[in-house]
Chain A
Amino acid sequence: EAQVTQNPRYLITVTGKKLTVTCSQNMNHEYMSWYRQDPGLGLRQIYYSMNVEVTDKGDVPEGYKVSRKEKRNFPLILESPSPNQTSLYFCASSLWGGNQPQHFGDGTRLSIL
């Protein structure tokens, strides 16, 4: 089944403790992206990747890192999480960038205390 898989689905952690949210897709998609969703603000793009080893900042990249060493994986790294990064996070992929439908994961709810 074609899917985008995120882990963990839920995480409660403390300020400053490094964490990684994994994202994997099995559709051989070139384009992958991370979003965060906060009440009243809609989905905002954090980082995106056009292909392996190619990543770029979205609207709200501060406090986040990403890597794209393999086509299928696009982990989101919070080196020193802070409470303002408490949010619902979604990973998405599409065949390539541009006018292609994006497939979304089920989301990761992060709470930073």
Chain B
Amino acid sequence: DAKTTQPPSMDCAEGRAANLPCNHSTISGNEYVYWYRQIHSQGPQYIIHGLKNNETNEMASLIITEDRKSSTLILPHATLRDTAVYYCIVSPGPGSNYQLIWGAGTKLIIKP
């Protein structure tokens, strides 16, 4: 299963865009990139996922490089409530046990 690499922590000013990078250089063709976040010790919350194309929803945008070896999660106008640990995960394709491999994530701190 492909592994991901994320910076352990990042800061961002409130109201600015938060750009969270993720490297997944061993991703295979049928694996998706998923992003979740965990606020304090609450249950992880799904944010967005994608395969090849860039994706946008009401929470965030996901930019995946053409070679699919890295991606960036963008929170366009960060608020204090976006302070959380953000996890980038590569989801195995059909034929696996659909297990998500969770790393340490990026602790994002939004500052006033």
- A positions within 8 Å CB-CB of B: 4, 31, 35, 37, 40, 42-45, 48, 56, 58-59, 88, 90, 92, 97-99, 101-107, 109
Residues of A within 8 A of B92 (CB): 98
Q: B99 touching A58 by the CB < 8 A rule?
A: yes
Chain B interface main SS type: loop
Partner of A48, one of B42, B43, B44, B99: B99
Q: B34 touching A101 by the CB < 8 A rule?
A: yes
Partner of A43, one of B34, B44, B46, B94: B44
Q: Which among A48, A58, A59, A99 has the highest number of chain B CB atoms within 10 Å?
A: A99
Query: Which B10-60 residues have C-beta < 8 A from chain A?
Result: 32, 34, 36, 41-46, 49
Kindly state the separation between the CA atoms of A105 and B45 in the bound complex, as whole angstroms.
9
Chain A interface main SS type: strand
Q: A90 touching B43 by the CB < 8 A rule?
A: yes
Q: B104 touching A98 by the CB < 8 A rule?
A: no
Kindly state the separation between the CA atoms of A106 and B41 in the bound complex, as whole angstroms.
8
